[in-house]
């Protein structure tokens, strides 16, 4: 009976294994986050940077994700304007071209975004495509 209980416990522990909660990074203060551009020379595949700058009474957040696209490292950038000030970010890759990130602060406010970046080969629409959505 102890052996069966032990095996059931092992199965439950394996089934409830550690979930991938992502990676927590600091938000980098930058004078004007909207003027940033990706710098692939300083990064590697799956790197993420998030910057913050103040614009009037709002906070501008810029997220740059780096990924391999057609054998070359490329940076994909999005911006969002928020009323809240966030101190940290947690990100997690969903697949090769999509990642989510959650901004949070000490007041337990948080907001989650999804970024998708890919290279379009559609005639007339060639180039980098980046989209941002939020919950």
Position 3 in a domain: no
Residue 19 DSSP symbol = P
Q: How many domains is the chain built from?
A: 1
Tell me if 61 sits within 8 A of 52, measured CB to CB.
yes
The pTM of this model reads 0.80
Position 58 in a domain: yes
Question: What stretch of H or E contains 38?
Answer: none
pLDDT tens readout for residues 44-66: 999 999 999 998 889 999 999 99
Tell me if 86 sits within 8 A of 57, measured CB to CB.
no
pLDDT tens readout for residues 7-23: 444 444 444 444 456 99
| Residue 98: domain span | 20-134
CA dihedral of residues 61, 62, 63, 64 (deg, nearest 10): -170
């Amino acid at each position: 009976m102890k052996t069966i209980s032990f095996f059931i416990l092992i199965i439950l522990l394996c089934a409830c294994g550690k979930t991938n909660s992502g990676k927590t990074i600091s938000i980098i203060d930058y004078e004007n986050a909207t003027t940033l551009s990706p710098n692939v020379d300083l990064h590697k595949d799956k790197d993420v940077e998030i910057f913050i700058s103040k614009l009037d009474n709002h906070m501008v957040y810029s997220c740059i994700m780096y990924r391999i696209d057609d054998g070359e490292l490329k940076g994909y950038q999005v911006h969002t304007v928020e009323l809240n000030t966030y101190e940290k970010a947690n990100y997690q890759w969903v697949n090769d071209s999509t990642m989510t990130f959650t901004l949070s602060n000490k007041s337990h406010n948080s907001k989650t975004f999804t970024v998708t970046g890919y290279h379009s080969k559609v005639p007339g629409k060639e180039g980098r495509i980046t989209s941002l959505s939020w919950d």
